[in-house]
């Protein structure tokens, strides 16, 4: 009985404990599982961004990926999303392998795995092409460039815009269509030899490497394991030997109007090109007039080709800032050699060849380009003026300071990189391991290089958005260009030799017009920014409306004195009733003056924007050697001389436009004609005379 009672008592006690004796619950231990990761491997190509995912998971979720970006030896790794492991990787290396550890963590436990990236495929000379990606390299010159001073091509290339679907015509001394770095981008049967009538545009002379170098800047093939790369490495090329000469002498001049038509979009030989590169031009020491027949071809091709979208003509500004060549000799400022000896700027620091001195550069259908060097400053030789639209890399001469690395004629007996001459840089001569066959040059320069850099950029823009018109392309370039050399000082000249003499601002610093666009006579709207332009092209929504070219609006016949060496100048105004948005402004000027380099020509918009459309101390010096008794040789001054300004882009035409002509010099003036002993003085004329002017606008109706 006693034992049974004890059992019952224990049962009651247990029941009490289970029912209401305590509110404590048993502790359940949570088990944390470690995250799991796996090795991952990817392939990468030079300059092309790759996207990938690191591999990791955790049963409880909420993991974090981490990688030490500094562990990557060949490129840039970016962890886009630490929660998912999404990343991007970009390299400039042509080959190599990245092996880097990454960690997956749940906050308590970690897992480690390996990311491997195999790099294969590229262009060995790309790392020397500062114009595409400036890291401060020397490009085989003595001195280095300044990192970041380039066309910003990398992002557009990384996002796989290559110039696909766009054909560029290289109008030059010819194009070596069989060059190994060009042949796959040359349109089969698309080039034309203007001398022989065949489809091979290769120049006759082995020394003629200019057009082949130009073509390489535009569209040397990318990722083929040889040479460098073009701005638009998958654009198509066609070549015309418009600057070539016939070795037999049977064809006395290739540069006929008929051949101009054939090579500039005037017939089926070239009318399918969307971009025409013209790395050629001329400088003359007297006022020039339009070639109206050529202008008609330019206008027709620009506005009506490609089913109305039009084409873009890119034109070199000229290489005459310091001096220029005309009629078999050099024309040089009178103080050029003495200034060099003293280490100071000659010619008051102003361009001897203002780009507006060449009438084809005053043609609105030519997108005129100046050259900038690897330090982000105007190339020492580059012509400049109010007609400059943009600037692009041209570099210097490739010996002391970097030029452009590009294609050359094949072999060490052709082109620029030849065995017989002492190489201008270590890259020439057939001994450098990257140029054993002399197929490339490191000394290509000039606005001849700036133009194809811009042509390549235009091809990239058109490729990014094939619907864009020629005007849309110009708008994209103007609104995305980089303001370079931002602190450049104005260039001023003194009116007289007195210490307190007044000064005239011949080239202002950067100015912002009434439409909010920055402009400079040396750089136009700035340096071409390829990646910004490609992005803008893809997002383009601007409606420029119908293209309008106004009639010329002319002044009355004038007889306004231009006071000698006076800021007062001669002024005239024209009232414009039309309310258009400016895309370009042209003038024609008639003014008598015996010494044209004394004169500066200004145009001022109704909004107050001033453009010095012709700088003084220019090279219009023919009056010093003319035969005043020969009517065909006589130069009295400007006679309906055309000039162009892009400084008013986006402003309104409505209101009063003011022309002002100023004489800045009553002292001595001389120049040098290189084959004539001594300098040539041009006597002063106390007063010139403004006799008349006209103005014409290109643009669209205001919204």
Q: For residues 430 and 437, what is the distance between their CA atoms, to the nearest angstrom? A: 6
Q: Which helix (H) or strand (E) holds 326?
A: strand 324-326
What Rg value do the Cα atoms of the chain yield, rounded? 33
Note whether 646 and 387 are within 8 A (CB). yes
Residue located via tokens 């034109």: 315
- Residue 178 corresponds to which tokens in the numbers above? 């069989």
- Residue 648 corresponds to which tokens in the numbers above? 């008013």
- How many Cα atoms sit within 13 Å of 395 on the Cβ side? 33
Residues 6+ apart with CB under 8 A from 582: 605, 648, 649, 650, 651, 652, 653, 697, 698, 699
- Residue 309 corresponds to which tokens in the numbers above? 């979208």
- Residue 411 corresponds to which tokens in the numbers above? 């072999």
Q: For residues 334 and 575, what is the distance between their CA atoms, to the nearest angstrom? A: 41
Note whether 447 and 387 are within 8 A (CB). no
CA proximity to 232, closest of 250, 245, 246, 220: 220
Q: Catalytic site residues? A: 172, 210, 448
How many degrees, rounded to 5, is the angle at CA 323 between CA 474 and CA 595? 95
Helices (H), 333-385: 336-342
Q: For residues 80 and 270, what is the distance between their CA atoms, to the nearest angstrom? A: 46
Q: For residues 694 and 554, what is the distance between their CA atoms, to the nearest angstrom? A: 4
Q: For residues 412 and 419, what is the distance between their CA atoms, to the nearest angstrom? A: 5
Kindly give the interhelix angle for 210-219 and 447-464, rounded to the nearest 10 degrees.
30
Q: Which helix (H) or strand (E) holds 471?
A: helix 470-480
Q: For residues 625 and 241, what is the distance between their CA atoms, to the nearest angstrom? A: 34
Supply the DSSP symbol for 472. H
Per DSSP, the three-state class of 37 is strand
Q: For residues 191 and 170, what is the distance between their CA atoms, to the nearest angstrom? A: 9
- Residue 557 corresponds to which tokens in the numbers above? 């016949």
Q: For residues 475 and 649, what is the distance between their CA atoms, to the nearest angstrom? A: 9
């Amino acid at each position: 009985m006693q034992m049974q009672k004890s059992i019952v008592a224990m049962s009651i006690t247990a029941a009490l404990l289970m029912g209401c004796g305590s509110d404590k619950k048993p502790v359940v231990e949570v088990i944390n599982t470690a995250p799991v990761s796996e090795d991952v491997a990817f392939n990468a190509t030079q300059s092309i961004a790759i996207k990938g995912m690191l591999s990791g998971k955790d049963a409880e979720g909420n993991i974090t990926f981490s990688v030490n970006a500094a562990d990557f030896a060949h490129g840039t790794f970016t962890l886009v999303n630490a929660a998912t492991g999404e990343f991007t990787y970009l390299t400039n290396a042509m080959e190599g392998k990245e092996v880097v550890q990454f960690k997956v963590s749940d906050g308590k436990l970690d897992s480690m795995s390996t990311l491997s990236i195999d790099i294969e495929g590229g262009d060995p000379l790309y790392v020397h092409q500062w114009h595409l990606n400036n890291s401060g390299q020397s490009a085989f010159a003595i001195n280095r460039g300044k990192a970041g001073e380039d066309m910003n091509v990398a992002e557009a290339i990384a996002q796989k815009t290559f110039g696909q679907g766009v054909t560029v015509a290289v109008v030059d001394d010819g194009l070596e269509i069989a060059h190994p770095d060009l042949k796959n981008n040359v349109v089969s049967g698309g080039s034309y030899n203007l001398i022989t009538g065949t489809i091979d545009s290769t120049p006759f002379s082995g020394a003629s490497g200019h057009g082949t170098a130009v073509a390489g800047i535009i569209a040397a093939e990318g990722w083929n394991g040889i040479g460098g790369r073009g701005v638009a490495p998958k654009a198509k090329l066609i070549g015309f030997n418009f600057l070539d000469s016939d070795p037999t002498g049977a064809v006395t001049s290739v540069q006929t109007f008929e051949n101009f038509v054939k090579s500039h979009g005037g017939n089926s030989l070239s009318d399918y090109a969307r971009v025409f590169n013209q790395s050629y031009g001329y400088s003359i020491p007297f006022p020039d007039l339009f070639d109206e027949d050529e202008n008609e071809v330019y206008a027709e091709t620009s506005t009506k080709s490609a089913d109305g979208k039009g084409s873009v003509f890119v034109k070199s500004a000229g290489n005459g800032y310091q001096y220029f060549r005309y009629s078999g000799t050099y024309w040089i400022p009178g103080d050029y050699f003495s200034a060099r000896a003293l280490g100071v700027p000659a010619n008051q620091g102003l361009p001897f060849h203002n780009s507006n001195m060449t009438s084809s550069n005053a043609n609105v259908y030519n997108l005129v380009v100046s050259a900038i060097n690897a330090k982000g400053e105007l190339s020492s030789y580059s012509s400049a003026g109010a007609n400059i639209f943009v600037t692009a890399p041209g570099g210097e001469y490739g010996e002391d300071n970097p030029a452009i690395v590009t294609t050359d004629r094949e072999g060490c007996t052709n082109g620029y990189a030849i065995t017989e001459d002492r190489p201008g840089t270590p890259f020439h001569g057939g001994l450098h391991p990257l140029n054993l066959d002399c197929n490339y040059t490191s000394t290509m320069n000039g606005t001849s290089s700036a133009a194809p850099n811009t042509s390549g950029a235009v091809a990239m823009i058109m490729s990014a958005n094939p619907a864009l018109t020629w005007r849309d392309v110009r708008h994209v370039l103007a609104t995305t260009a980089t303001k370079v050399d931002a602190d450049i000082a104005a260039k001023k000249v003194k009116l007289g030799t007195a210490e307190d003499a007044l000064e005239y601002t011949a080239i202002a610093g950067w100015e912002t017009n009434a439409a909010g666009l920055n402009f400079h006579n040396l750089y136009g709207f700035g340096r071409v920014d390829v990646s910004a332009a490609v992005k803008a092209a893809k997002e383009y929504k601007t409606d420029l409306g119908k293209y309008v070219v106004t009639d010329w609006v002319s002044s009355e016949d004038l007889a306004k004195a231009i006071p000698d060496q006076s800021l007062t100048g001669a002024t005239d105004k024209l009232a414009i009733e039309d309310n258009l948005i400016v895309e370009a402004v042209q003038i024609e000027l008639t003014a008598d003056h015996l010494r044209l380099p004394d004169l500066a020509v200004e145009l001022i918009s109704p909004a107050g924007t001033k453009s010095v459309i012709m700088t003084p101390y220019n090279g219009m010096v023919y009056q010093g050697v003319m035969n005043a008794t020969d009517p065909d040789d006589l130069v009295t001054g400007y006679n309906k001389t055309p000039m162009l300004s892009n400084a008013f882009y986006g402003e309104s035409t409505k209101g009063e436009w003011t022309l002002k002509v100023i004489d800045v010099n009553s002292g001595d003036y001389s120049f040098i004609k290189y084959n004539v002993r001594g300098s040539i003085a041009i006597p002063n004329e106390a007063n010139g005379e403004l006799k008349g002017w006209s103005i014409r606008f290109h643009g669209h109706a205001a919204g």
